[in-house]
Amino acid sequence: MFCHLRPMRRLCLEKIFPHWFPYSRALSGAEAVNALRPFYFAVHPDFFGQHPVEREINENSLKRLSVYLENLQKPGFKSLKPTQLTFYVRETDQSSSDGQEPFSTSGFRAVKFTLHTRDLLSTVLYILNSCSLSVEHIQSLNTNVHTQPLKEAKRMPDRPIKWDKSYYSFTGFKDPDEDLEQVSRMETTLTSWLDNNGKSAVKNLKNSLPLRKELDRLKDELSHQLQLSDIRWQRSWGVAHRCSQLHSLSRLAQQNLETLKKAKGCTIIFTDRSGMSAVGHVMLGTMDVHHHWTKLFERLPSYFDLQRRLMILEDQISYLLGGIQVVYIEELQPVLTLEEYYSLLDVFYNRLLKSRIPFHPRSLRGLQMILNSDRYAPSLHELGHFNIPTLCDPANLQWFILTKAQQARENMKRKEELKVIENELIQASTKKFSLEKLYKEPSISSIQMVDCCKRLLEQSLPYLHGMHLCISHFYSVMQDGDLCIPWNWKNGEAIK
């Protein structure tokens, strides 16, 4: 119904970038990456170490952007679904007065935009302009894109380009090498960091205790009232924010109790967008109003029907692939809605039906695979599951799975052994340091957690008594007093 808007949008782009638009298809993948460097420097999660919520949002949005860009480059693609992204953009000199969202006191601002472009160049330009970043450097990346017709354009070599220091002086962007050097100089040790931050963490934790009790009360009350399996959060929101979200849900339950009871037995997750997740959790977008939440609960029966069809589809794929189990691992895959995941499975299933590759029935039982839309070749994960591209060549898929099946079983066995060791070390560390809670970020692997806990147990760390400790990739004191430390923390003298 909105197809009549596409010519209008194209006309707007042509007015803004008249000399670029006729040759937009000539931009290669490597050139797109180079053109987006200012954007990557402004949003890279490594520069948000003291802001875990913003860091996590940028990480997830970058994954979804990567999938979008990969799909644009696939041969024969027709159109992509609009993809809404949110980024926290670090302050640069040129964007301090651009009329966009104001900067926070932390030096970054939130930018939200929806991608519905059809080629790499217009996508790059749209991203940079949405974030109020300069586009002047794009023309210098490959003059062939703008001076030659499409059929004569030459592809730039797929290798990274190291920009001259003058580029950063001219544009005002920060040199990433200098940023990394500064981070390295500021790197500290675990004991010195705890000495400097332990007292503030204790104070924050003490102040948050009443709210933590209120959060537990609200969660138990709503879970019982709506007969929910669980209530979770996809982001590292503070306790006050979580309480506010539960209060909103509680008010909605008072107004539409029978409608909300349709979620009986489900897990509710507060996240960035409303819908049902690929694993069947009810997602409540924190930016949506009650009206949107109510509509979602009203549609749950149709979602349950789609979920049943999805499970049948997984079983059919499993049957065609010798009994291998199709799984969705939230920590390792982009956040997908139920509809998006069903579409992926359907495309993959139809390709398998056409090829009819022979697998001995049940020969691969006990093995697992996940589907990826952003990969071109299958791979075996260290945890034992196969990463299978949706558009993978069936013949290559058969050869790869059969040759890697034994290694996959060994990896899965090792994963289970590591999980046992990890749980034992978590319990030992919690007991030794009298921790109130010890947990890890989803991106921390069992191997990393085991290594971290083993080294922790060799230390004497009195500041940890009664604390909430999160194993992460960076140091941070969260607003409610949780201590975040990197899994590969260093001890001894600080690096200078």
Examine the domain organization and report whether 120 and 33 are in the same domain.
Answer: yes
- Asked if 206 and 481 count as a contact pair (C-beta separation under 8 A), the reply is yes
Separation of alpha carbons 198 and 201, rounded Å: 5
pTM of the model: 0.63
Strands in 282-285's sheet, in edge-to-edge order, are 230-233, 267-271, 282-285, 275-276
Separation of alpha carbons 124 and 212, rounded Å: 43
Tokens at 491, concatenated: 């001890």
- Asked if 303 and 338 count as a contact pair (C-beta separation under 8 A), the reply is yes
**51: nearest Cα among 240, 237, 287:** 237
Examine the domain organization and report whether 117 and 220 are in the same domain.
Answer: no
Per-residue pLDDT for the chain (496 aa), expressed as one digit of tens each? 444 444 444 444 444 444 444 444 456 777 787 788 888 888 888 777 677 778 878 888 888 888 788 777 776 665 677 888 889 888 754 444 344 444 444 578 888 888 887 788 888 888 988 888 877 777 655 444 443 333 333 334 444 455 666 555 555 565 666 655 554 445 578 988 898 888 989 999 999 999 999 999 999 999 999 999 999 998 777 898 899 999 999 999 999 999 999 999 999 999 888 999 999 999 998 887 788 999 999 999 999 999 999 999 999 999 999 999 999 988 777 788 999 999 999 999 998 888 877 787 888 999 999 998 766 688 999 889 999 988 888 888 888 999 999 999 999 999 999 999 999 999 999 999 999 999 998 878 899 999 999 999 999 988 899 999 999 888 888 889 999 999 999 886 433 3
- Asked if 195 and 233 count as a contact pair (C-beta separation under 8 A), the reply is no
The CA–CA distances, whole Å, from 470 to 22, 209, 384, 440, 441 equal 51, 17, 26, 5, 7
What is the bridge-based pairing of β-strands 325-326 and 368-372?
parallel
Give a yes or no: residue 320 inside a domain.
yes
Domain limit, last residue, from 386, 416, 446: 416
Tokens at 83, concatenated: 């993809």
Give a yes or no: residue 225 inside a domain.
yes
Domain limit, last residue, from 416, 443, 472: 416
Listed in sequence order, the residues at least 6 apart from 366 whose beta carbon sits closer than 8 Å to its beta carbon are: 323, 325, 409, 412
Strand-pair partners of 477: 483
Tokens at 258, concatenated: 């029978």
Evaluate the CA torsion angle 251, 252, 255, 261 in order and state its sign. Answer: negative
Examine the domain organization and report whether 122 and 223 are in the same domain.
Answer: no
Domain limit, last residue, from 354, 384, 416: 416
User: What's the number of CA atoms in the CB half-sphere (13 Å) around residue 354?
Assistant: 10
Provide the 3-class DSSP secondary structure of residue 90.
strand
Strand-pair partners of 379: 387
CA dihedral of residues 51, 57, 58, 62 (deg, nearest 10)? 160
Separation of alpha carbons 236 and 50, rounded Å: 13
Region of 437 on the Ramachandran plot (φ > 0 left; ψ -120 to 50 alpha; else beta): beta
Listed in sequence order, the residues at least 6 apart from 328 whose beta carbon sits closer than 8 Å to its beta carbon are: 278, 279, 336, 341, 370
- Axis crossing angle, helix 394-432 with helix 446-456, rounded to the nearest 10: 20
Separation of alpha carbons 202 and 483, rounded Å: 9
What is the bridge-based pairing of β-strands 379-380 and 386-389?
antiparallel
Examine the domain organization and report whether 205 and 327 are in the same domain.
Answer: yes
Per-residue confidence (pLDDT) for residue 182, from 0 to 100: 54
Per-residue confidence (pLDDT) for residue 218, from 0 to 100: 95
Give a yes or no: residue 224 inside a domain.
yes
Listed in sequence order, the residues at least 6 apart from 372 whose beta carbon sits closer than 8 Å to its beta carbon are: 333, 387, 388, 389, 390
Separation of alpha carbons 491 and 485, rounded Å: 12
Examine the domain organization and report whether 68 and 199 are in the same domain.
Answer: no
φ, ψ at 434 (rounded to 5°) = 50, 45
Per-residue confidence (pLDDT) for residue 467, from 0 to 100: 94
Query: How many structural domains does the chain have?
Result: 2
Examine the domain organization and report whether 115 and 204 are in the same domain.
Answer: no
Give a yes or no: residue 231 inside a domain.
yes
**Element (H or E) spanning 398, and its range?**
helix 394-432
Give a yes or no: residue 59 inside a domain.
yes
Examine the domain organization and report whether 122 and 232 are in the same domain.
Answer: no
Give a yes or no: residue 373 inside a domain.
yes
Strands in 325-326's sheet, in edge-to-edge order, are 325-326, 368-372, 386-389, 379-380
Per-residue confidence (pLDDT) for residue 427, from 0 to 100: 96
Give a yes or no: residue 400 inside a domain.
yes
Give a yes or no: residue 464 inside a domain.
no
The CA–CA distances, whole Å, from 174 to 49, 74, 94, 305 equal 17, 33, 11, 51
Residue listed under structure tokens 């409540």: 284
Q: Which range of residues forms the domain containing residue 108?
A: 29-92+103-136
Separation of alpha carbons 496 and 188, rounded Å: 9
Per-residue confidence (pLDDT) for residue 175, from 0 to 100: 63
Tokens at 213, concatenated: 């009790």
Per-residue confidence (pLDDT) for residue 495, from 0 to 100: 39
